[in-house]
């Protein structure tokens, strides 16, 4: 990695020229061919031997370049509870029962506390997060500060009211990996620890570490310090990679690979496609698409359509590669762990895809209409069979079977009306021993039931009753 920046009062140039040495996917050593410490860049405090050591699960244990001698993690959640540094320094983190950080203390005696958007320093109010920025507690009073963020959510400029005018309190410039560029802009006298992607930077001991929740990120080398908990679903990418190695375009919401793909439309409408392995958020509102609400869909055709539309808003080859992968592996979902914020109009190089876009919109529209009109089976508890009498289905979407005779549960249409009502029944109660005539008295009356539609609705009903584990 090569990083340019300010070297002196009036000189600029190469401040990092990093070479990475690996053992498998673990980073073992980083060497910098550029000597000197320029305050904000990578600091090479170790030469010759390995810089990094790891636990068996891949989590970072020590970092000689950051003067970290040991990181101790919680037993079950694998969250860092103590970071030991040279010179008898330490950082201790405290989490609640849901794994949320509520306190960080330092060997200096300083401590920070967090509660629902409020930040306390040494037991006193420090700041309160607001939708437009933050409110700082200065000199016994609250002072509002307003942020201007870039497309990745990084705070670039902050303002305060000054009578009827505005006063700029800070201006921050980042390199692509999150390092704050030296002497570019204006430094806020009231420290903001949450500038980069709204994540907290460890600033007390001037470390390059930024907490993303699931993992901690080292901005000086552009890598996480632990393995993604969903790494087995992301074989196309390093389990330590940050933002798919494309931090100009992507963000990592919490340091882990999430699960859905969402297409944002006009008027706050959206379509979310449920998958096992991918999280994409694509802003396609510039196309003027109004989905008429917020819908959750499924299926490879819809997934492919959303990826095609997303490709128009991504000038990198990433989404194109995803789309090609889907086409080649029809029916095989993939992983990404990326959030995409698109521009308002298609890029010139992608205009040829507009035919795909039109087809994709049609597919999504058809899927939405299908969800509006599809038959749904809803059975109240009084008409359900006691689950203790049943064996769960052997195949996802099939009916469960009775323990006494292994026959599947049948669903009865009362009155032969399309919308039901419906009832779970044993075969004998439904069609055996004269019950067929009792349950279906109007043999000469045409049924309103479409068998194909009904069979599909039954599969969806049992999927809901017995979710796949």
Helix (H, G, I), strand (E, B) or coil at 168: strand
Alpha-carbon span 219 to 197, nearest angstrom: 12
Alpha-carbon span 320 to 323, nearest angstrom: 5
Residue carrying the six token digits 């009356």 = 445
CA-closest candidate to residue 240, choices 226, 252, 257: 226
Can you list the positions of beta strands (E) in 202-355? 209-211, 216-218, 223-224, 250-251, 260-264, 270-274, 280-283, 294-297, 339-340
- Mean of pLDDT over the chain: 80
CA-closest candidate to residue 247, choices 133, 378, 363, 341: 341
Q: Are strands 141-149 and 155-162 parallel, antiparallel or unpaired?
A: antiparallel
Q: Which two tokens stand for residue 128?
A: 């309160």
Residues in the chain: 469
Q: Where are the domains of the chain?
A: 2-226, 243-373, 381-465
Alpha-carbon span 53 to 76, nearest angstrom: 21
CB 240 within 8 A of CB 223: yes
Alpha-carbon span 248 to 287, nearest angstrom: 23
CA torsion sign for 328, 274, 213, 142 is positive
Alpha-carbon span 308 to 233, nearest angstrom: 22
**In this predicted model, what pLDDT tens digit does every residue of 124-160 receive, in sequence order?**
999 999 888 999 998 889 999 999 988 778 899 999 9
Angle 260-262-264 from CA coordinates, rounded to 5°: 170
% of the chain exceeding 90 in pLDDT: 33
Buried b (16+ CB within 10 A) or exposed e, 309-336: bbbbbbbeebbbebbeebeeeeeebbbb
10-residue averages of pLDDT along the chain (469 residues) = 85 90 94 79 88 96 96 91 97 91 96 93 94 90 91 88 90 90 78 90 88 90 86 72 79 60 73 60 67 70 70 50 47 32 33 58 73 76 90 89 91 77 89 81 66 85 80
Helix (H, G, I), strand (E, B) or coil at 116: coil
Q: Which residues contact 88 (CB under 8 A, 6 or more apart)?
A: 107
CA distances from 256 to 137, 143, 252, 259 (A): 33, 35, 7, 10
pLDDT for residue 434: 81
Q: Which residues contact 328 (CB under 8 A, 6 or more apart)?
A: none
CB 461 within 8 A of CB 411: yes
């Amino acid at each position: 990695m090569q990083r340019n920046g300010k070297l002196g009062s009036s000189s600029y140039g190469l401040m990092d020229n990093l070479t990475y040495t690996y053992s498998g996917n673990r980073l073992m050593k980083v060497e910098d061919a550029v000597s000197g410490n320029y305050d904000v860049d990578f600091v090479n405090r170790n030469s010759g031997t390995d810089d990094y050591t790891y636990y068996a699960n891949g989590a970072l244990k020590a970092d000689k370049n950051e003067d970290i001698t040991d990181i101790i993690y919680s037993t079950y959640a694998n969250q860092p509870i103590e970071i030991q540094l040279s010179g008898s320094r330490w950082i201790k983190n405290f989490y609640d029962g849901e794994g949320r950080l509520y306190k960080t203390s330092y060997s200096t005696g300083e401590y920070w506390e967090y509660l629902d958007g409020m930040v306390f320093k040494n037991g006193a109010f420090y700041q309160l997060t607001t939708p437009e920025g933050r409110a700082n507690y200065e000199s016994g009073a609250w002072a509002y500060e307003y942020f201007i963020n870039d497309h990745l959510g990084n705070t670039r400029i902050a303002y305060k009211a000054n009578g009827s005018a505005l006063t700029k309190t800070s201006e921050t410039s980042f390199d692509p990996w999150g390092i704050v560029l030296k002497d570019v802009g204006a430094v806020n006298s009231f420290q903001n620890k949450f500038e980069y992607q709204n994540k907290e930077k460890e600033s007390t001991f001037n470390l390059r570490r930024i907490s993303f929740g699931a993992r901690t990120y080292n901005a000086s080398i552009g890598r996480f310090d632990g393995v993604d908990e969903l790494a087995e679903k992301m074989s196309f990418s390093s389990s330590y990679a940050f933002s798919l190695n494309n931090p100009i375009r992507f963000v990592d919401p919490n340091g882990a690979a999430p699960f859905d793909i969402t297409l944002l439309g006009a008027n706050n409408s959206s379509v979310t496609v449920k998958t096992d392995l991918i999280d994409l958020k694509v802003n396609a509102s510039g196309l003027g698409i109004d989905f008429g609400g917020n819908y959750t869909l499924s299926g490879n055709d819809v997934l492919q359509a959303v990826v095609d539309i997303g490709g128009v808003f991504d000038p990198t080859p990433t989404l194109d590669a995803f789309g090609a992968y889907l086409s080649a592996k029809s029916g095989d979902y993939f992983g990404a762990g990326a959030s995409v914020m698109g521009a308002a109009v298609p890029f010139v190089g992608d205009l040829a895809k507009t035919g795909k876009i039109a087809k994709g919109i049609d597919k999504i529209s058809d899927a939405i209409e299908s969800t509006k009109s599809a038959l749904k089976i809803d059975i109240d508890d009084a008409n359900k069979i006691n689950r203790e009498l049943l064996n769960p289905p052997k195949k996802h979407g099939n009916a469960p079977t009775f323990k006494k005779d292994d026959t599947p549960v049948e669903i009865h249409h009362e009155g032969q009306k399309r919308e039901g009502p419906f009832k779970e029944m044993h075969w004998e109660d439904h069609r055996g021993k004269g019950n067929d005539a009792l349950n279906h008295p109007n043999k000469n009356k045409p049924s309103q039931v479409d068998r194909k539609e009904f069979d599909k609705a039954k599969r969806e009903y049992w999927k809901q009753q017995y979710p796949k584990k």
